[in-house]
Amino acid sequence: MATILRMPLDRPIFVVAPPRCGTTLLYRCISSHPEVGYLMRAHRKLIHSPWLAQTLTRFKLFRDSPRESRDIWYRFRRQIASGMLSKDNKPAAYHDLLTAEDAHPVERSWFPRFLERVVKHQRARRFAAKLPSHSLQLGWLDALFPGSIFVQAMRDWRAVVSSTVIKRFEDFDGRWFGVCPPGWQKHIHDAPALGAAWQYLVVHEYLDREAPNYAGRFFRVQYEELCRNPLAVLQKLFENIDLSWTAEVEDQIPTDIRPPNDRWREQLSPSDLETIERQHGEALRRYEVKIPIARFTKV
């Protein structure tokens, strides 16, 4: 009997950044490429059968749209943290930071096989994903998928803080929302804007430190410029991450992209800005968008 060789997952693409940085828009744009596969709601419901998930989606029993799928990415984390899969049986305080050393053998085995099947049944050759906590997990992801590509969405910190506070109260009853860096528990009672600013800064500083470790595989896209000039920005990005650009690809790019705005000026109070400035002002100024210039950088 002939042996059927597994085709390794080809350089999966991970969109990284704290929430409200434009990651959803960037993820939608990348996932719109016909060569790119992604996780859908059906995969979460039918995790043991990517074929059935894809079939039912094709028959419109599930919506065909890319999802964050945290339940899938954290499939083994709770067991590992509780000691069920660890040798020392010592649970750790919860946070999202994961390194290559945290890639458990069961994860190294299960995730590549699962996503290979997802991509195969979607008739794609690449894969893309977006989850805010992935922003603190580059080493872990690269251990699971050697050669991974990372695309960071960049957005003015003031707009992100403002949007994070609104999201926190509208959908999370004021609770902590987004990424959980080590030590996040000390900030859950901060003023919401201050907590959001701390989260933004810690994640961005982590990504700044990590980017040089993935030379040629780490890219940054400025959200404001993506909104203003999506086709030019995406064409350049796709060229860098080895995705073709054709008339068909261009036709698939979302057209409902809203222009960037500065509503944060109305939503962040002077006292919020003063408090943030006092604690993090100098560091955060690196992440302000002052003029509408095109920014696309390759690390």
**pLDDT at position 78, please?**
77
Task: Please indicate, yes or no, if residue 190 is contained in any of the structural domains.
Answer: no
Beta-sheet strand order (sheet of 218-222): 36-37, 126-130, 13-16, 149-154, 218-222, 296-298
Check residue 253 and report its DSSP letter. S
Per-residue pLDDT, averaged over 103-121, amounts to 97
Number of domains in the chain: 1
Q: What is the rounded CA–CA span in Å between residue 287 and residue 229?
A: 20
Q: Is the pLDDT of residue 89 over 50?
A: no
Q: What is the largest CA-CA distance in the chain?
A: 72
Helical (H) or strand (E) element with 296: strand 296-298
**pLDDT at position 87, please?**
45
**pLDDT at position 213, please?**
98
Name the amino acid, one letter, at 19.
Answer: P
Asked whether the whole model's pTM tops 0.75, one would answer yes
Decide if 39 contacts 14 (C-beta within 8 A): no
> Where residue 217 falls among pLDDT bands split at 50, 70, 90?
very high
Q: Is the pLDDT of residue 118 over 90?
A: yes
Task: Please indicate, yes or no, if residue 268 is contained in any of the structural domains.
Answer: no
> Where residue 88 falls among pLDDT bands split at 50, 70, 90?
very low
Query: Over the chain, what is the mean pLDDT?
Result: 91
Q: How many CA atoms lie within 13 A of 53 on its CB side?
A: 23
- For helices 50-58 and 105-121, the axis angle rounded to 10 degrees is 30
Q: How many CB atoms lie within 10 A of CB 85?
A: 16
The parent domain of residue 97 ranges over 13-159+211-259+290-298
Task: Please indicate, yes or no, if residue 165 is contained in any of the structural domains.
Answer: no
pLDDT tens for each residue of 34-76: 999 999 999 999 999 999 999 999 999 999 999 999 999 999 9
pLDDT tens for each residue of 151-190: 999 999 999 999 999 999 999 999 999 999 999 999 999 9
Task: Please indicate, yes or no, if residue 88 is contained in any of the structural domains.
Answer: yes
Per-residue pLDDT, averaged over 249-254, amounts to 95
Task: Please indicate, yes or no, if residue 145 is contained in any of the structural domains.
Answer: yes
Helical (H) or strand (E) element with 221: strand 218-222
Task: Please indicate, yes or no, if residue 227 is contained in any of the structural domains.
Answer: yes
The CATH number that applies at residue 220 is: 3.40.50.300
- What are the residues whose beta carbons fall under 8 Å from the beta carbon of 23, sequence distance 6 or more? 15, 16, 17, 130, 132, 153
Helices (H), 93-137: 105-121
In 3D space, the residue among 155, 184, 165, 189 whose CA is nearest the CA of residue 284 turns out to be 155
> Where residue 208 falls among pLDDT bands split at 50, 70, 90?
very high
Q: What is the rounded CA–CA span in Å between residue 223 and residue 28?
A: 13
Task: Please indicate, yes or no, if residue 61 is contained in any of the structural domains.
Answer: yes
Task: Please indicate, yes or no, if residue 129 is contained in any of the structural domains.
Answer: yes
In 3D space, the residue among 44, 59, 38 whose CA is nearest the CA of residue 122 turns out to be 38
Name the phi and psi angles at 36, rounded to 5: -110, 125
